Structure 1
């Protein structure tokens, strides 16, 4: 696990400036505290910060072939590297190390761009091939590891694990993309392939990009996508047995390490399944860790303890105070662009705890998207049945006006929020799910933005992100469609971003067995009623795990990793939020309607309405502006 960065001259063979490359590399020192190195030659420079996990003695980067015509920097883990090495030895290649990074070098030499099809794991890497005079970059299929890139005005291609490494170069224009702002306020993160800056991009999951010197930068190519065929011919018992077998294989692949290894144990189904599988594979007690909260409404530690007791893990728990909100500015620094998932706070804390005892931790991330675990899936399917009963024109004519007339009731359980339900029924499936995922929904988002900012958007709406993905989904199954949307938006943009930045802030490697692409591909062949049956999400997964986990862990209501935002913003964060949103960097941009901001603050503080989510989104945007140094003058919008 590492941080990678570098430059490539797209026009000629200029020699990169060592000082610039050094700054870029050191900006990511937290991702790899063990070693750091630079490589510079005419036309290209690579930087690497290393967290030593596999082949500690000889796994340094950048890594080269024999004549140094091919160089690689790589972040992640390729779990099938030993099998890959054996295959490549059969083609005549000789290996000098036992590292997965050298396996990628040889795979590039043998298969070229198609090397990505042979890699199983989480990865972001760059290859420079001097003989072909090109640069090649690729990102893993589900976007576990990040990769950012940009072309400066003078023709340098910059790349890095984190956006801060591109900023550290000094040549990146920090003009803010208004579409990224609209998407952030809708979703709480900036989705791939955008970044908050117009000039920079994220390489999207499952994509690769070949850059040839002297030629225009082309569009990244998609090399992988999940297909929900739903055509598996297995009965329930056979499917459960196969799911257990594939989970075991995926976990086993991720136990290779030369450093202490453990797992997160939240008390939820997914992390508990991973821990139970680890315990059955290893005769030694598993190192597990949990974060507890002093507010019982958010505390799951009793369920984590059930699993820890059953498998006799070395379990460690730390309790986080319910007023642990002092990380606002730290989060802005870690994420480099606006990011509003408040569960980043406990995620940061659990990574901090884990790193005290292990260097690698397995997590249960990805299970909800693939196996059908989110509560919103159940609600969407209930709404979908109503949408299918009436034509769209009738739904818009009847339920649209009802949604406008019905009072907002964010305080109530969602099933009783008729306004939200009426809004969903009046929309098509994609727009309804976009609305479900919204943090600042229409029409509030439009009221929040100033007239000038809305003109900059030129009519662009963040729902287009979902529509673009939906057009490629290749399924008309309503559950499969929203799972596909989550795998291309929420999973890489929110979940994977959160875990990567929080873990690497503590130099901790996190591995996700439930995001193994072969497992995900197989689960996508299962009929939807094996994932969501009635009101039971993860139906087959829970059935498969019944011999392994307590009933109370499997079938209790899903809690999530939440924090008490509403209380914070009425209490200890009240004055800080008001000062920031009415007088801070955000207020200076001119992009927001001060009257709407004041109304949200007043209504929330009086308890008349719960505006915690939009206020948190605004607060984190203000923190981003300050961290980026854009708070003293009006931030620049890229036209």
Structure 2
């Protein structure tokens, strides 16, 4: 796992300043503390920071082909590289290293841009072909590894693993994109391919970008993969359980290849527990596992993690974190480079910090809920969708819109009695309703939160337009498959993968994701949705597949999630900072917000009349971003 960076002159053959190339490379040294490498030639600079995991002796980057005409900087892991080596050798390619990086170089020579079709793993890379005067960028199918880029006014193309590489370039103008602000307050993150800054971009998952010398404008990226939900696999439920175990086993096996200490996160949830159980069956040594617990029992899952650790006699490390562990706010703002409001970033940061004391590589259970249909919101959405399918929107919109307007906001009530949100969703189309259900700050509140001038700059764009765009590409009419697809394109990439990548790389820890293996996901997309959500039970086939391997209480207890006590923090130890931050001069001078709405949210929350903790945390983290943004470029 590494950090990559680079500069490319799209118009000519300028020599780039070596000090600048070194600075933007080293700004992400946390991603690769072991080694750094730079390569220069006319019109090109490539940078790499290395975290050594495979081929410790000879895997340095940038890495080249036999005659030096093709070079690469690469972040990630190619899990099937050992299978590709003999195939490429048979085509005449000579290997100088034992690294997966060199496989990509020779795959490019053999298959050109289609080389990405042959790669199984998590990756982002930039490859320069001097003979073709071509710079080729690629990102893995599920967006596990990041890639940011920008085209500057002087024709310089700059790219890097993190956005801080882009903002460190003196030619980059940090103009905030209103559409990115809208996405952030709706979703808690800025969705791909947008960045918080207008002129920066994220390469979409499953896409490549090809630049050639002499181009006059930034080309469009090209999709090389997408998941297609068919649901047409005739496999019986019982046989599907066997297949799930076998396919997860293969995916885990591939991700256990390393020349450094390897372990796993163990949260006590179904997904990480299944990964650990599978690892234990593949290893003759105790699996190293790591967990954190909270001193508040409402948020503490460590007892369930201990059950799995005891069953498989893992080398288990548990650390208890205080429930008032909120001193990471400014650290997170620096880490994420753009506003990010998932409060579970705090425990994720801590568990990565603890794990790095014991291992260099950790396997996680991320992606299980999305792929197997595990979220509670899936069941609720399908219930609403049955109503939407029975009543035309011309009837639903006025009927449920009127009910939503008169029904009180009942934050204190059990979820099934919070009908206001349900009525609002029933008045919407499917994609808009799903966006509404996952929003941090829902559309009506965003409308009152934004200033009049900001709404004018935003125009007609709203975050649900992104969901409608993806829904139109989904090629499925199955209601569960559709929202799984939407999560793959938005939540999994923008929230989960971003959170884990930045938190792990902050501690130079590589995290691997067996439940996001693209071949596993392709197969799961063929299963009928009834195998995933069955008799009201999410992840049905997955849980049944691991019944003999995991305790019943781990498999079938209510999902807790990786949560922190936000409402309590914001009414207690963070109360003063909250008011000072969300009503700061920075926030008001930004021109984005209506002051009276923010004051109302703070007063209602402090008075315990409503729980506005999610909206207020989202505002708090936006202020932390603005404060960080003020420091950029200041020597």
Q: Compute the TM-score of the two structures, normalised by the length of structure 1.
A: 0.98
* TM superposition shift of 1:237: 1.3
Distance 2:331 2:548 in 1: 42
1:202 and 2:202 correspond: yes
The answer for unaligned runs of 5 or more in structure 1 is 634-639
1:481 and 2:482 correspond: yes
* TM superposition shift of 1:586: 1.5
Distance 1:585 1:291 in 2: 35
Distance 2:526 2:50 in 1: 38
1:590 and 2:553 correspond: no
Distance 1:296 1:462 in 2: 36
Runs of 4 or more, structure 1, over 6 Å off, are: 630-633
CA contact (8 A) 1:588 1:631 kept: no
* TM superposition shift of 1:411: 2.3
Distance 2:115 2:72 in 1: 13
Give 3-state SS (helix, strand or coil) of 2:354's partner.
helix
**1:450 — aligned with what?**
451
Residue-pair matches, total: 633
**1:637 — aligned with what?**
none
* TM superposition shift of 1:392: 1.4
**2:16 — aligned with what?**
16
Distance 2:633 2:77 in 1: 41
Distance 1:224 1:585 in 2: 42
Distance 1:559 1:352 in 2: 22
Distance 1:622 1:398 in 2: 38
Distance 1:505 1:108 in 2: 31
* TM superposition shift of 1:588: 2.1
Distance 1:331 1:459 in 2: 31
The answer for unaligned runs of 5 or more in structure 2 is none
* TM superposition shift of 1:631: 10
Per-residue displacement from partner, 1:456-485 (whole Å, max 9, x unpaired)? 011111111101100000001000000000
CA contact (8 A) 2:385 2:479 kept: yes
CA contact (8 A) 1:23 1:169 kept: no
Give 3-state SS (helix, strand or coil) of 2:77's partner.
strand
**1:176 — aligned with what?**
176
**1:34 — aligned with what?**
34
* TM superposition shift of 1:534: 2.7
* TM superposition shift of 1:583: 2.1
**1:83 — aligned with what?**
83
Matches within 5 A, 1:40-439: 40-215=40-215, 216-439=217-440
Change (3 A) 1:584 1:577: farther
**2:523 — aligned with what?**
522
**1:636 — aligned with what?**
none
Change (3 A) 1:609 1:232: same
Give 3-state SS (helix, strand or coil) of 1:471's partner.
helix
CA contact (8 A) 2:6 2:46 kept: yes
Give 3-state SS (helix, strand or coil) of 1:124's partner.
strand
Give 3-state SS (helix, strand or coil) of 1:315's partner.
strand
CA contact (8 A) 1:148 1:201 kept: yes
Distance 1:380 1:460 in 2: 24
Give 3-state SS (helix, strand or coil) of 2:443's partner.
coil
CA contact (8 A) 1:127 1:135 kept: yes
Give 3-state SS (helix, strand or coil) of 1:126's partner.
strand
Give 3-state SS (helix, strand or coil) of 2:168's partner.
helix
Give 3-state SS (helix, strand or coil) of 2:473's partner.
coil
Give 3-state SS (helix, strand or coil) of 1:76's partner.
strand
Change (3 A) 1:632 1:103: closer
Distance 1:632 1:240 in 2: 54
* TM superposition shift of 1:584: 4.1
Give 3-state SS (helix, strand or coil) of 2:592's partner.
coil
Q: Give me the CA root mean square deviation.
A: 1.1
Distance 1:580 1:303 in 2: 37
CA contact (8 A) 1:250 1:513 kept: yes
Distance 1:102 1:334 in 2: 30
**1:503 — aligned with what?**
504
**1:623 — aligned with what?**
624
CA contact (8 A) 2:168 2:632 kept: no
* TM superposition shift of 1:158: 0.2
CA contact (8 A) 1:189 1:494 kept: yes
Distance 1:322 1:373 in 2: 26
Distance 2:331 2:584 in 1: 21
Change (3 A) 1:324 1:587: same
